[in-house]
């Protein structure tokens, strides 16, 4: 499947597509963390707007994470790797996957919180109906930390080892 996407994608997009797309999930996860933090600490009336904005940002962030992953497969197929950079790429991909898992977990908890039964809602979400919980904030902040680590590894591959740099 990965090879098929790389073959098809490389015909539709330039090999430099990953660096063009990857900044969207980074920015969206940082903004999600900010808005979810504000939703948790502000009074209930004001936090609803921040909650809604945070959920939209997280949703867009998840879509852009998928786009960045697919773009990474395309860019990977055109790059040249040494054994050292191949190892860095493996860690980069693992960390990107963990970022997606954490962000997806935050999205699931955030979407399911308003639908949880009143008796169990407080025990697992730690928030009132329709509010961002500390659990969601912790998951989003962890995803933001992971996307930062993932981006740092990507930068090390490009700037430290010249992966994807023509010449």
Residue 50 has pLDDT above 50, yes or no: yes
37 or 42, which is more confident: 37
Residue 78 has pLDDT above 90, yes or no: no
Length of the chain: 167
Gap between the Cα atoms of 81 and 149, Å rounded: 20
Collect contacts of 107-114 with beta carbons under 8 A, ≥24 apart: 107/55, 107/58, 107/59, 107/62, 109/133, 109/135, 109/136, 109/139, 110/54, 110/55, 110/58, 110/136, 111/55
pTM of the model: 0.85
């Amino acid at each position: 499947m990965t090879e098929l996407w790389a073959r098809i994608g490389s015909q539709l997009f330039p090999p430099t597509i990953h660096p063009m797309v990857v900044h969207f999930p980074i920015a969206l996860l940082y903004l999600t963390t900010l808005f979810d933090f504000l939703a948790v600490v502000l009074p209930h009336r004001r936090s609803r707007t921040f909650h809604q904005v945070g959920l939209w940002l997280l949703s867009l962030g998840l879509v852009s994470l998928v786009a960045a992953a697919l773009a990474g497969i395309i860019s990977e197929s055109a790059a040249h790797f040494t054994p050292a950079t191949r190892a860095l790429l493996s860690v980069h991909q693992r960390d990107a996957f963990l970022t997606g898992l954490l962000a997806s977990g935050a999205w699931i908890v955030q979407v399911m919180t308003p639908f949880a039964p009143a008796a169990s809602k407080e025990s697992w979400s730690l928030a009132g109906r329709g509010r961002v919980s500390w659990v969601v904030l912790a998951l989003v902040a962890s995803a933001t930390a992971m996307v930062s680590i993932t981006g740092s590894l990507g930068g090390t591959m490009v700037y430290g080892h010249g992966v994807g740099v023509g010449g």
